[in-house]
Amino acid sequence: MNADEARILKLRAELRDYNHYYHVLDAPKVPDAEYDRLFRELRNLEELHPELVTSDSPTQRVGSAALFAFSQVRHAVPMLSLGNAFEESELFEFNRRVIEGLDLPAGDLFGGGQSIEYTCEPKLDGLAVSLLYRDGLLVQGATRGDGTTGEDISVNVRTVRNIPLKLNGSGWPAVLEVRGEVFMSKAGFERLNATQMEVGGKTFANPRNAAAGSLRQLDSKITASRPLEFCCYGLGQVSANIADTHIGNLEQLKAWGLPISRELKLANGIDQCLEYYRDIGVRRNDLAYEIDGVVFKVNSLAYQRELGFRAREPRWAIAHKFPAMEELTELLDVEFQVGRTGAVTPVARLKPVKVAGVTVANATLHNMDEVARLGLMIGDTVIIRRAGDVIPQVMQVVLERRPDNARPVHIPEQCPVCGSQVERTQLVKRSKGKETVSEGAVYRCVGRLACAAQLKQAIIHFVSRRAMDIEGLGEKSVEQLVDEGLVSSPADLYTLGFEQIVDLEGFAELSSKNLLEAIEDSKRPTLARFIYALGIPDVGEETAKVLARSLGGLERIMAALPQVLTYLPDIGLEVASEIHAFFEDEHNRTVIAQLLERGLQLQDQGELHPEFAASTSLAGMIAKLDIPSVGPTGAEKLVARLETLDKIIAADGIDLRQALTIKQATAVREFFSVAENAERARAVEAQLREFGMHWGSEKKLVEGLPLAGQTWVLTGSLERMSRDVAKDKLESLGAKVAGSVSAKTHCVVAGPGAGSKLTKANELGLEVLDEDAFIAFLNKQGIEA
């Protein structure tokens, strides 16, 4: 056996195996680009040695055998595959073959420059299916399979939302076989993987696998739950012809209710095809679904018939492929980067590879759980994917290509930047009165601002536009300031002098002056900006605003206990614990103190927000303690009976039984018999009181509010806030909001379109506010509208 023959056998075995994984198991082992390369290599070798071609060679068939689990469907007209063009030259070659292959009437051919009319469609990356309509009713759905025989997936295709079960209109041929692609949008794919991750199910490598895996489900309920879509691009068997052109056929199918591509266009000549290719290429990332190229088809069906087929490919169509989004490369090493919050993140260092036209040498690995999920080892061959503008990702390890000397990936014990300890983060969860701590996916360097990496990131964040907004301090300058030892905390920015800055690279006299001015100008931030600028883990702008608005002052925010913070909108115990830990940290407290000493003046500090005050009650607090079997109702009963936390903690079984069931009473006794629980409850109560809560029962709480005892009515439409928001605001001031006007109504807010309620209010001589007056009133009460 010579070398070529041996290579041919090896390639066939490999390609058969890859085919099986791709088509039957919907879990490809290698990227398409790799498959294509091996396939081409085999085809070229077979062209050199035609005597070696066998009928079972992967070059001799399309797709793969049907999965035996489904019954088989023989295609009356074979389902074709498409020839590929990767280079422009291959496209021109295709066009030349079309012109030459057409027996056009004399005079039509003008020096070979004949323009052929082509249709242009995006090449969807999904699963090719055939839909058979008889007398306008969907009777069968099938996969392509090997092109001759596919799988019967009739039940499953019926669950795809945009596949009509019955055609619209009339005039369809009695037998109409429609062909097209079932695919999944990018958003649908992301959603599906997120859900699968949550429920511990199988995740998919890309939208195409997700579509294929979803469609070829033995349980069609699963298919129905997946966000599949269909787009048709051709015909199979028909009992009567429809139109004279491909585009005519598709437009008719559309009229009958079948979805066709919105990007379908006609091109006059191959040059316009190229323009189409470039245009879609530019918009590729913005499309809602993934495409791997575009398809050009000779528009005239008469021409198509004349051109016919070569093996299993039509001579009248070609797929012009985009550069692949997935490639194979080698994982040279895994390095660890330290981020702003100290998170130590593994980063893949790769043997540089071109993916979709861009050289990729690094890819994010997210965290160590991801490394474990991928089963990644240094030295592995991996599949890299670069979709759109996102950072390249490692999708998969090609296990077969793992070298003997592959090494496992270990998280370093010391921070690679500052040498401090690296610790695994912990997740705190509370349920049924118990706090459980589990290991998080993130590892953190404990060095905080003593770690140069964290310090640099912290300062870059601190000065950023949405934080302290100090213009003129880019990343490079921050790195210099830190490396030169001029700045070792955000507070040091406020001690910088002209001499220190002007010597930095890239700074001149004017830019130094400007920077100093910008630093000076940043000294009066709002409380929310300041909190955001501190870079507390998990505290983004929204959370910072909630903290500032609800607690109204830095001191309160710094002192707030985690349990107290959980009273605020959208703050759970995990984030609350991060916030609390941040402000407990001695170093952070020092930096904050220095910032204030160095002239920072926080704006808009004020009182505790009435919304926050209204969101708490003793019963509410007790309900939040997570005492087993004691929910909000139990807590209400307990407070109604025993009135104060002290009495509840001290209560014996008999007292408790007055308000609760035996089970609940026992649970409350057991809960408070743990000293730590009682202490924590007392601390939370004390702090809520200290923050200005009107402690006691819910009723008393409302009594302290400005609109306590009043009933308001909203009518008509409001333009600057929804009725719900208006209602919330009124309730936060203690008012009851009613649906109808009576003599007991205190005030009516009437927007445009107000009807009978307004008439009645006027008859009764009640106070009526229009929207402007209402907003002015809210503002006066300290509520932003």
CB-CB neighbours of 780 under 10 Å? 9
In angstroms, give the least distance from the CB of 236 to ligand 9MJ.
10
Q: How far is the CB of 294 from ligand 9MJ (least distance, A)?
A: 8
State how far the alpha carbon of 694 is from the alpha carbons of 8, 122, 205, 700, in Å: 84, 64, 55, 7
Distance CA 671, CA 660 (A): 14
CB distance 358 to 351 below 8 Å: no
d(CA 663, CA 498): 71
Helix, strand or coil for residue 754? Answer: coil
Beta carbon of residue 191, minimum distance to ligand 9MJ (angstroms, whole number): 22
DSSP string covering 477-517: HHHHHHHTTS-SSGGGGGG--HHHHHTSTT--HHHHHHHHH
Nearest 5°: the CA angle 702, 708, 713 is 120
Provide the token pair at 230.
């269909």
Q: Is the CB of residue 486 less than 8 Å from the CB of residue 500?
A: yes
Minimum distance of ligand 9MJ from residue 751's CB (angstroms)? 51
**233/612 with CB nearer ligand 9MJ:** 233
Q: Which is nearer to ligand 9MJ, 280 or 557 (CB)?
A: 280
Helix orientation angle between 675-690 and 662-673, rounded to the nearest 10 degrees: 90
Which of 10, 29, 123, 351 is labelled catalytic?
123
Give the residues across from 234 on adjacent strands: 179
**CB of residue 79 to ligand 9MJ, shortest distance in Å:** 7
Residue 152: CB minimum distance to ligand 9MJ, A: 20
CA angle 17, 21, 25 (to 5 degrees): 145
| Residue of 453, 407, 446 lying closest to 424 (CA atoms) | 446
Contacts of 326 (CB under 8 A, 6+ apart): 31, 32, 33, 206, 355, 383, 384, 385, 395
Smallest distance, ligand 9MJ to C-beta of residue 322, A = 12
254 labelled catalytic = no
Do 22 and 144 contact (CB within 8 A), yes or no? no
The half-sphere exposure of 76 on its side-chain side, counting CA atoms within 13 A, is 14
> Using an 8 Å Cβ cutoff, are 709 and 586 in contact?
no
User: Least distance from C-beta 98 to ligand 9MJ, angstroms?
Assistant: 15
- Judge whether 574 and 538 are in contact, CB under 8 Å: yes
* Crossing angle of helices 475-483 and 452-463, rounded to 10°: 140
Residue 367 dihedral angles phi and psi, to the nearest 5°:
-160, 180
Q: For residues 122 and 213, which CB has a smaller minimum distance to ligand 9MJ in the complex?
A: 122
State which residue, 128 or 621, has the beta carbon closest to ligand 9MJ. 128
Closest distance between ligand 9MJ and the C-beta of residue 232, in Å?
9
Structure tokens at 321: 């492929």
Q: Are 213 and 26 in contact (CB under 8 A)?
A: yes
Query: Which residue lies nearer to ligand 9MJ by CB, 19 or 616?
Result: 19
| Number of other residues whose CB lies within 10 A of the CB of residue 522 | 21
Query: 671-703 b/e with 16+ CB inside 10 Å = b?
Result: bbeeeebbebbeebbebbeebbbbbbbbeebbe
Q: Which residue has the tokens 């001695």?
A: 586
Nearest distance, CB of residue 165 and ligand 9MJ, angstroms: 23
Question: Alpha-carbon distance 338 to 346, whole Å?
Answer: 9
How many angstroms separate the CA atoms of 251 and 408, rounded?
56
Please give the residue ranges that form the binding site for ligand 9MJ (CB under 6 A). Answer: 80, 82, 121, 123-124, 181, 233-234, 295, 317
Residue numbers annotated as active site: 123
